[in-house]
Amino acid sequence: MAGPPVVDRRTTATRLAALSVAVVAGFCALAVAFWYFQVVENATYVRMAENNHLRKLSLRAPRGVLFDRSGTLLVENRDAFTISILREHSADLDQTIRRLSAAAGVDEQQVRETIRRHRGEPSYRPIVVIDDATLAQVSAVLARRLPFELPGVVVERVPTRRYPAVGLGAHVLGYVGEVGEAQMAADGLRSGSVVGQSGVERAYNKMLMGADGERRVMVNSVGQEITTLDEVPASEGRRVKLTIDYELQQAAEDAFRGLGYEGAAVFLDPRSGEVLALVSLPAYDPNDFATGIDRVTWSQLNTDRLRPLQNRAIQGRYSPGSTFKAVVAVAALEEGVITADFTVTCRGGASFYGRFFKCHLKGGHGTVDLRHAIEKSCNTYFYTIGNMVGVDRINKWAAALGLVGRTGIDLPNESESLVPSTAWKKARTGEKWYAGETISVAIGQGQVSVTPMALASLYAAVGSGGVHYQPHLLKATDDGGGWKDAVLPAPRGVRLKPETVAALHDGLWLVVNGAGTGGRARVSGRDVSGKTGTAQVISLQGAKQAAGRTEMDLRDHGWFAFFAPRDNPEIAGVVFAEHGEHGSNAAPIARHVIETYFAKRAGIRPLPVFTPPAVPAAPAAEPLAPLAGAAGR
């Protein structure tokens, strides 16, 4: 039969049935798919949906406020604004960057660079593109913050550090900065957290940081906040009281500036180890770091030849010069090698091991006992007794009085102070110690190199008879429930024999109050006792001369270490005047601080004002006499 076959009703019914089966199968397949997504995989999608419409905003905790020992404010917080871009909600990032840069008046290229640096981070994390925005910038952005014009742009208020006394005590307080990668992992901190990078800010970072809060907000698809769901408020870091006395700190820095010296100074309470003032100059302005330091300032600070970022008081190591003679005297007396009445006749120097070592006074000091040897800083006397005691016993007593190693001050990156010994040299160079080397050590030259902090601790120990305390800066803390005093460190060191203490104190008193080199530190009625010293620059760093240093840089450093009053001292410390030429030039700085201390204690106001000494020249009695091998005053 030609033509297509006839279709009977059965065929139609079969095909309709096939369609029905297909339809049922299709609906079943859809149902299974929805069951899988909605029931089996439900948790995954719930989380994704929440990420969609919930945004966690971190509420930065203000860092703890810092006070000086009597409650004067040292560091506080202010509100700063940051402007960030949330890429997740910024469909056209390019356009957002362009508009934001135009609105805030910032360099578009720099914004792009910032975004590029953080491009690896999840897109829901805001990227801060403007730190510490001005009010004009904030209002310019907020005025435009229509979701369509600047989608994904977020303005946040962040508490930011403020150091009201610009630069004062900068090296004590330190500075803050964004957390680094390593620290982030170690302490479980979030990216962008602000942490202490130096000084007390770093040493007590955990205490000061507090806990960030969090606000969960519901947002729509363009990132607009609709409602706040819940909020865990940020809890401020602990308030901290330092042992620093603001007025003494100011007095010390005033005196340095009055004389035009850079350098370092440490003032301690020998009865507790509390640091009353700590100076390191030149310094920096911690405010520059508070909102992230700009590259120019940072590289300036880093390349400055005067190294303003170095805390000279705990990181600078210098030879202590004649201030070290106190250690040699203690060793000789305590070991019974001499008594205080032991005399040496100085004829302008003496020979040891076939070599002549000069005293600084060409004509010699004549016959001197220990007290007068200290007063006049007679090198010949100390060459002699140093040679009798030997380097190892000098090292032993230096260590007992806290001059060796770190003092343990609660500041980061303290350097170790060094007083050599035969064992040290063996370990260090593999060579044996030559007795001739001890002669230089006896007047604080040679391998001896100490931090101002360690030397201050030593004089505190000497002042209070050998027993001393670890220097520290933490006075009290307050976590909201009132001030709690910090635990005082246990005493350490050894109790020296009364004869030792008496002889030493007499000698050091004579330095300031007799015919010695420390006259400029004299404060009437306060029995200041101390010792000047000179740290040579030329012999130690002759190599650097070739590196093109100017003449000025070759001048010696001046030390003045002291305690006052002579009996039961309340204040001890050290002043290191960089390129001060002589210790007597450092003494006026100590004098001003001592005077201020006692004026404060007696309640005398106004406090003394620093006046530079009338005669600026070094004392004629002790001309500078750089010698082959060693010299000291």
Partner 1 sequence: MFERRLYFHMDWLLLGAVYLLCAIGVAMIYSASGGSRLYLTQLAAIALGSVALLICLGLDYRSLADRSHLIYGFIVLLLVYVLIFGVVRGGGRRWISLPLFNLQPSEFMKIGLALVLAQLFGDSRRRTPSTRELAIGGGLTALPLLLIARQPDLGTAATLVPVLLAVAFVAGMRLKVAGILLALAVVAAPVVWTVGLQEYQKGRVLTFINPSRDPLGAGYQQIQARITVGAGGLWGKGFMQGTQGQQGFLPVAHNDFIFSVLAEEHGFAGVLAVLGLYAFVVLRTIETARLARDRLGTLLVIGALASFTFQVFYNVSMSAGLAPVKGLTLPLMSYGGSSVIATLAGIGLILNVRMRRFTN
Chain residues binding partner 1 by CB under 8 A are 3-8, 11-13, 15-16, 19-20, 23-24, 26-27, 30-31, 33-35, 37-39, 41-42, 44-46, 48-49, 52-53, 91, 218-222, 226
Shortest reach from residue 213's CB to partner 1, in Å: 24
Angle at 497 between CA 491 and CA 499, to 5 degrees: 135
Task: Pick the closest to residue 592 from 172, 164, 272, 267 (CA basis).
Answer: 267
Shortest reach from residue 4's CB to partner 1, in Å: 4
Identify which of residues 119 and 355 has a Cβ nearer to partner 1 in the complex: 119
Shortest reach from residue 103's CB to partner 1, in Å: 23
Structure token digits, residue 181 = 């990668």
Shortest reach from residue 3's CB to partner 1, in Å: 7
Identify which of residues 222 and 435 has a Cβ nearer to partner 1 in the complex: 222
Identify which of residues 35 and 356 has a Cβ nearer to partner 1 in the complex: 35
- In whole angstroms, give the CA distance from residue 199 to residue 79: 23
Identify which of residues 221 and 339 has a Cβ nearer to partner 1 in the complex: 221
Using DSSP's 3-state secondary structure scheme, residue 496 falls into: coil
Using DSSP's 3-state secondary structure scheme, residue 537 falls into: coil
Identify which of residues 39 and 546 has a Cβ nearer to partner 1 in the complex: 39
Shortest reach from residue 9's CB to partner 1, in Å: 8
CB 574 within 8 A of CB 505: no
- In whole angstroms, give the CA distance from residue 633 to residue 618: 12
Identify which of residues 3 and 336 has a Cβ nearer to partner 1 in the complex: 3
Count of other CB atoms within 10 angstroms of residue 504: 25
Using DSSP's 3-state secondary structure scheme, residue 484 falls into: strand
Shortest reach from residue 97's CB to partner 1, in Å: 15
- In whole angstroms, give the CA distance from residue 156 to residue 361: 68
- In whole angstroms, give the CA distance from residue 122 to residue 5: 67
Shortest reach from residue 143's CB to partner 1, in Å: 23
Identify which of residues 9 and 432 has a Cβ nearer to partner 1 in the complex: 9
- In whole angstroms, give the CA distance from residue 375 to residue 175: 42
What is the signed CA dihedral for 147, 149, 152, 156, rounded to 10 degrees? -90
**Rg, Å, the chain Cα set:** 35
Shortest reach from residue 28's CB to partner 1, in Å: 9
Identify which of residues 3 and 525 has a Cβ nearer to partner 1 in the complex: 3
- In whole angstroms, give the CA distance from residue 615 to residue 584: 11
Angle at 484 between CA 480 and CA 489, to 5 degrees: 145
Identify which of residues 220 and 339 has a Cβ nearer to partner 1 in the complex: 220
Shortest reach from residue 224's CB to partner 1, in Å: 9
H or E segment and range at residue 476: strand 474-478
Structure token digits, residue 118 = 């953080």
Shortest reach from residue 21's CB to partner 1, in Å: 10
Identify which of residues 41 and 485 has a Cβ nearer to partner 1 in the complex: 41
Edge to edge, the sheet with strand 529-535 lists 274-281, 262-269, 571-578, 557-564, 529-535
- In whole angstroms, give the CA distance from residue 487 to residue 56: 39
Shortest reach from residue 24's CB to partner 1, in Å: 7
H or E segment and range at residue 600: helix 587-602
Identify which of residues 45 and 353 has a Cβ nearer to partner 1 in the complex: 45
Using DSSP's 3-state secondary structure scheme, residue 599 falls into: helix
Shortest reach from residue 27's CB to partner 1, in Å: 4
Identify which of residues 32 and 166 has a Cβ nearer to partner 1 in the complex: 32
- Phi/psi class of residue 611: alpha, beta or left (left: φ > 0; alpha: ψ in -120 to 50)? beta
Shortest reach from residue 218's CB to partner 1, in Å: 7
Task: Pick the closest to residue 353 from 443, 440, 429, 445 (CA basis).
Answer: 440
Identify which of residues 13 and 306 has a Cβ nearer to partner 1 in the complex: 13
Shortest reach from residue 219's CB to partner 1, in Å: 7
Shortest reach from residue 156's CB to partner 1, in Å: 22
- In whole angstroms, give the CA distance from residue 130 to residue 291: 10
Identify which of residues 184 and 218 has a Cβ nearer to partner 1 in the complex: 218
Shortest reach from residue 166's CB to partner 1, in Å: 47
Residues 460-482 as b/e (b if ≥16 CB within 10 A, e otherwise) read bbbbbbbebbbbbbbbbbeeeee
Identify which of residues 24 and 609 has a Cβ nearer to partner 1 in the complex: 24
- In whole angstroms, give the CA distance from residue 89 to residue 152: 5
- In whole angstroms, give the CA distance from residue 319 to residue 314: 14
Residue with tokens 């090698």: 337
C-alpha 585, offset from chain centre? 27
C-alpha 66, offset from chain centre? 15
Identify which of residues 52 and 568 has a Cβ nearer to partner 1 in the complex: 52
H or E segment and range at residue 136: helix 135-143
Kindly state the DSSP code that residue 55 receives in the 8-state scheme: E
H or E segment and range at residue 269: strand 262-269
CB 523 within 8 A of CB 594: yes
